[in-house]
């Protein structure tokens, strides 16, 4: 089964959900660290029903009928078995970084657009984190009973957002400086950037290709 299937089972394990409420909650919880779990949610719910891992029941709320899904014992077993397997290796899906990587084949604004969007997305996540943090601290979060584990997710996502934001700002400054240097000096600047990062994190080989003559200062900065 797809990761989306297990993510849905996990949400159903907390409590029964109306289909539209579950979709809303999934998009709130998984958007920033497992976006694939947002795709095809309605189809996956029907699939779980067909497989006997969840059951659906039509309920009336007000004047509207809605389908409410509940996990079955077999669904709990499948979820438990999956959770006890080894996680897949972590990987990054970052559209802005891909565009920067390939930017020489695009127009002049490709990099700038990618960096601006990265900063805006990180600020949006930080704004959401403030809201969610307040909910947990005041005891009104929808998953308040999960606060011990959710605090770990909260910590990761805040660091994640700050990483993206700081990287975008630093990259803008770095590329602005590189654009004002001669080619050979911009290459030395790039090497120095790599060297600094390697040294910061204790990687071997940070002194390889060291040029004792630093590039000239850029104009206008």
Rounded Cα distance between 6 and 171, Å, is 37
Is 189 within a domain?
no
Q: What is the number of residues in the chain? A: 221
Is 88 within a domain?
no
Is 195 within a domain?
no
Question: Does residue 79 sit in the same domain as residue 102?
Answer: no
Instruction: Report how far Cα 118 is from the mean position of its chain's Cα atoms.
Output: 12
- What pLDDT was estimated at residue 216? 58
Is 220 within a domain?
no
Question: Does residue 163 sit in the same domain as residue 107?
Answer: yes
The CATH number given to whatever domain includes residue 19 is 1.10.10.10
| CB-count burial class (<10 Å; 0-12, 13-18, 19+) for 33 | exposed
Give the pLDDT band of residue 212 (cuts 50, 70, 90): low
Is 215 within a domain?
no
Question: Does residue 11 sit in the same domain as residue 47?
Answer: yes
Angle, vertex CA 209, rays to CA 207 and CA 213, nearest 5: 95
Question: Does residue 122 sit in the same domain as residue 58?
Answer: no
- What pLDDT was estimated at residue 215? 54
Read off the pLDDT of residues 16-54 as tens digits, 9 standing for 90 and up.
Answer: 999 889 988 888 888 888 887 777 888 999 999 999 999
Is 104 within a domain?
yes
Question: CB under 8 Å to 58, separation ≥6 — which residues?
Answer: 65, 66, 67, 68
Question: Does residue 66 sit in the same domain as residue 116?
Answer: no
Question: Does residue 106 sit in the same domain as residue 46?
Answer: no
- pLDDT higher at 3 or 46: 46
For residue 112, give its domain range.
Answer: 96-179
* Number of Cβ atoms within 10 Å of the Cβ of 111: 18
Read off the pLDDT of residues 77-128 as tens digits, 9 standing for 90 and up.
Answer: 999 999 999 998 988 889 999 999 999 999 889 999 999 999 999 999 999 9
Give the pLDDT band of residue 70 (cuts 50, 70, 90): very high
Question: Does residue 9 sit in the same domain as residue 51?
Answer: yes
Read off the pLDDT of residues 121-162 as tens digits, 9 standing for 90 and up.
Answer: 999 999 999 999 999 999 999 889 999 999 999 999 999 999
Question: Does residue 109 sit in the same domain as residue 174?
Answer: yes
- What pLDDT was estimated at residue 213? 56
Give the pLDDT band of residue 208 (cuts 50, 70, 90): confident
Is 165 within a domain?
yes
Question: Does residue 79 sit in the same domain as residue 132?
Answer: no
Is 31 within a domain?
yes
Question: Does residue 108 sit in the same domain as residue 139?
Answer: yes
- What pLDDT was estimated at residue 2? 84
Q: How many domains does the chain have?
A: 2
49, 54, 55, 57: CA torsion to nearest 10:
-100
């Amino acid at each position: 089964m797809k990761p989306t299937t297990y993510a849905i089972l996990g949400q159903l394990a907390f409590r029964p959900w109306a289909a539209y409420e579950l979709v809303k909650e999934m998009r709130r919880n998984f958007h920033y660290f497992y976006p694939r779990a947002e795709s095809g949610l309605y189809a996956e719910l029907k699939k779980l029903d067909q497989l006997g891992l969840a059951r659906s029941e039509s309920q009336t709320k007000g004047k509207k009928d809605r389908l409410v899904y509940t996990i079955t014992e077999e669904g709990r077993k499948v979820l438990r078995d999956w959770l006890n397997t080894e996680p897949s290796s972590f990987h990054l899906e970052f559209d802005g970084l891909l565009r920067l990587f390939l930017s020489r084949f695009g127009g002049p604004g490709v990099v700038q657009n990618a960096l601006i969007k990265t900063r805006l997305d990180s600020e949006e996540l930080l704004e959401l984190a403030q809201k969610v943090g307040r909910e947990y601290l005041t005891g009104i979060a929808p998953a308040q009973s999960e606060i011990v584990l959710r605090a770990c997710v909260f910590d990761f996502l805040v660091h994640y957002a700050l990483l993206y934001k700081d990287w975008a700002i630093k990259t803008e400054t770095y590329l602005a400086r590189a654009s004002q240097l001669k080619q050979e000096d911009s290459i030395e600047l790039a090497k120095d950037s790599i060297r600094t990062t390697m040294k910061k994190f204790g990687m071997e080989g940070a002194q390889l290709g060291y040029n004792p003559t630093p590039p000239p200062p850029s104009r206008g900065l």
